[in-house]
Amino acid sequence: MPFTKFTNLDFDQIKTSIKDYLRANSDFTDFDFEGSNFSVLIDTLAYNTYITAFNSNMVVNESFLDSATLRENVVSLARNIGYTPRSRTAARAHVTISVPTSATSPTLTLQAGLVCVGTANESTYTFSIPENVSTTINGGVATFGTTASPIEIYQGTFLTKQFVVDGSLDQRFILDNSFIDTSSIVVYVKGPSDSGLGREYQKVDNIIRIERTSEIYLLQEVQDEKYELLFGDGIFGKKLENSSVITVTYIITDGKDGNGPSEFSFSGTFRDSSSNPVIPAGSVTLTTVQGAMNGGEIEPVSSIKYFAPRLYSAQYRAVTSRDYEAIIQQIYPNTESVSVVGGEELSPPQFGKVLISIKPKNGDFISDFDKETILSKLKQYSLTGINQEIIDLKILYVEIDSSIYYNSPQVSNVSGLKATAVDALNTYASSVDLNKFGGRFKYSKILQIIDNADRSITSNITKVRIRRNLKALVNQFAQYELCYGNKFHINSQGYNIKSTGFYISGNTDLVYFTDVPNKTSTGTLDGSGRGVLSVVKRMNDGEYRVIIASAGTIDYANGEIIINTINITSTEKENNIIEVQAYPESNDVVGLSDLYLSFSISDSTINMVKDVISSGEDISGVTFTRDYYTSSYSNGELERK
């Protein structure tokens, strides 16, 4: 029997194949007995084969970005194509600090390092600043930051590390801590002729526009999520002189855990202009402008594998939409999902324009400040003559109205069962199918998830709604357009579009949007797939009265609502929001182009209904159809409840 099995990676399989071979080709017999000498020899051979197979398998796997599993190797392979994985990011809060002081110097400096302590989730987190902040003293009070321009504090501990350059070729400058937020790293190099800490060096990502005298350093991740600084060689970047002292300050952070604190107690230190410590004359007032947010974990291996080849193919040039996706991830690490639409795809086309929507990891909107930062950083990657615009996220909410039938003898606590079903839905709501541009809400999955949430659930009847939030410009005449990107279901009687209440000028009653599909003279749908939007109010007797017959148009086929000029004065919901819902023609809802799909469970309706047939209370089904019946179609209410 030839020895042909080369693919075995398991010790027992290797051993068995050696025994099979010997059984057919040898005079010996005792290898089947574990105590025999032959068995000892076979074990040694099989072990050797196993180790060799394992090693060669690892070597080959770890040599390629696609199959590497150890972070160190993935990072190293990504480095070959010029990709630096994102570090942990510290949660940042914005505060102003006001200090009464009797110091006679003109300025007061808040020392780099610990500034304050904040609490979230019953844990205490320290907040630091990476560099000194100075301000002038006016009338015995020094104020750091203003509401419009507060100081930024980083969650984490401030650390300093010094290296003395010894001129040897193998000297490495490795920062000894994991969990560093690399954006907080500040590097000073003190040459023989410099005073103080020396000159500050700037971090660069590539060697474009770098000269022999540029004071720069590069950063790379090495073993155990630590970072190494690389300095110039005298050709690209200034070379370090012997005996120079490198001082590196940085912040190590708790990452995502640091998000949340919004109340802080001050623990910082002050110095006057002569660097003497200053004790505040009274209590320090620390005002929070924005609580800590945007903390994030180090980039996971899966993300590095995904983005490294993309950034490489983008070649630091934002040309295609995929390029933008990779580059924006790099320059704004808080990005969860990016959608980029070229102006030529818009209607009407806007050539030379690129529209970008970004979903940040925490929250729905990115601040104007962040938008400006992203756009200015993007400029160095983008083509000349192309203008980028960051537009606010358009969220398409998917809601369900579900009646869940349960077998009552198997249930001791109905609200507990409901919570189990909601938990299962929440897991799906946070999955990758949703929460992204181009995401898809899969109806059949939802039915399955509900049915499988608990053994006592016998069935469910689930209706799907889609919703957009209309942010009203109050006390202004304005036109609105709401795109859903999904075809609407048309009920010829109307009741397809529903909204929460709002007030319009010239009318004191709470009013709602509703729809009237276009019909022929015989009262059937005219097939145009269009309709008219009306504004109605509810009378005391429960009847509805039309306030504005033609307040806009509805394109059911394309899922668009256009509202003519209207002056909305206030809304029933907070923040000037009017929730406008529709029923999709297909229960599978898609997040089209710039729409971000979000499954809103908090706005969904979940009813628990006793399945009297399964429980045996109703044998004939008469009680079930009379008292426990659920329609699979939408209700006849005009308002959104």
Partner 1 sequence: MAVTRVSRAFKDISLSFEPHPVTKDLPILKNENAIRRSVRNLVETIPTERFFNSLLGSEVRSSLFEFVDYGTASIIEDQILTTVRNFEPRVTNVKVEVDPQPDENTFNVTVVFDIIGQDVPTQAFTFILEATR
Check whether the bond before 85 is cis (ω within 30° of 0).
no
Q: Which of 2, 7, 33, 279 binds partner 1 (CB under 8 A)?
A: 33
Applying the rule CB under 8 A, the residues between 40 and 99 that interact with partner 1 are: 40-41, 43, 46-47
Stretch that binds partner 1, among 21-29, 113-121, 463-471, 539-547 (CB under 8 A): 21-29
State which of residues 4, 6, 7, 34 lies at the interface with partner 1 (CB under 8 A).
34
Does residue 351 bind partner 1 (CB under 8 A)? no
CB of 32 to partner 1, least distance (A): 9
Q: Which of 302, 386, 343 is nearest to 594 (CA)?
A: 343
Nearer to partner 1, 27 or 574 (CB): 27
Give least dist CB 48 to partner 1, A. Answer: 10
CB of 49: closest distance to partner 1 in angstroms? 11
Q: Give the range of 35-43, 206-214, 255-263, 376-384 binding partner 1 by CB under 8 A.
A: 35-43
Interface with partner 1 (CB under 8 A), residue from 3, 28, 54, 477: 28
Q: Determine if 21 is a binding residue for partner 1 (CB under 8 A).
A: no
**Nearest 5°: CA angle at 377, between 372 and 380?**
135
**Residue choice 8, 13, 16, 36 for contact with partner 1 (CB under 8 A):** 36
With contact defined as beta carbons under 8 Å apart, do 214 and 235 qualify? Answer: no
- CA-CA distance, 245 to 197, in Å (whole number)? 8
The β-bridge partners of 606 are: 402
What residues have CB less than 8 Å from 388, skipping those under 6 apart?
353, 354, 355, 356, 375, 378, 382
Q: Which of 23, 24, 37, 479 forms a contact with partner 1 (CB under 8 A)?
A: 37
Any idea what the Cα angle at residue 430 is, between residues 425 and 435, rounded to 5°? 120
CA distances from 492 to 105, 495, 496, 563 (A): 78, 9, 9, 20
Q: Would the CA dihedral through 483, 484, 486, 490 be positive or negative?
A: negative
Using CB under 8 A as the binding rule, whether residue 9 contacts partner 1 is answered as no
Q: How far is the CB of 115 from partner 1 (least distance, A)?
A: 55
Nearer to partner 1, 46 or 112 (CB): 46
Contact between 38 and partner 1 per CB under 8 A:
yes
Give min distance, CB of 448 to partner 1, in A: 41
| Region from 31-39, 100-108, 356-364, 421-429 binding partner 1, contact rule CB under 8 A | 31-39
Report the nearest approach of partner 1 to the CB of residue 15 (Å): 8
Pairing, β 199-203 against β 216-221: parallel
Which of 29, 56, 605, 607 is close enough to bind partner 1 by CB under 8 A? 29
Amino acid in position 182: T
Question: Which region among 29-37, 75-83, 422-430, 569-577 touches partner 1 (by CB under 8 A)?
Answer: 29-37
How much of the chain is in helix, strand and coil states, percent to nearest 5? 20, 35, 40
d(CA 85, CA 302): 11
Q: Which residue has the tokens 């490294």?
A: 308
What's the rounded Cα separation, in Å, for the pair 214 and 209? 9
| Smallest distance, partner 1 to C-beta of residue 377, A | 55
- Applying CB under 8 A, among 1, 3, 30, 478 the residue interacting with partner 1 is 30
If the CB atoms of residues 41 and 235 are measured against partner 1, the closer one turns out to be 41
Which CB sits closer to partner 1, 40 or 478? Answer: 40
In Å, what is the CA distance from 575 to each residue of 391, 402, 470, 579?
19, 28, 10, 11
Greatest CA separation found in the chain? 106
Q: Which CB, 46 or 580, lies closer to partner 1? A: 46
Instruction: Give whole-number Cα distances, 256 to 100, 334, 405, 418, in Å.
Output: 34, 11, 39, 30
DSSP state of 343: G
Identify the CA nearest to 210 among candidates 198, 221, 218, 219: 218
Cβ at position 45, least distance to partner 1 in Å:
11
Q: Does 263 bind partner 1 (CB under 8 A)?
A: no
Number of residues that bind partner 1 (CB under 8 A): 17
- Smallest distance from partner 1 to CB 44, Å: 8
Query: Which residue ranges make up the site for partner 1 (CB under 8 A)?
Result: 11-12, 27-30, 33-38, 40-41, 43, 46-47
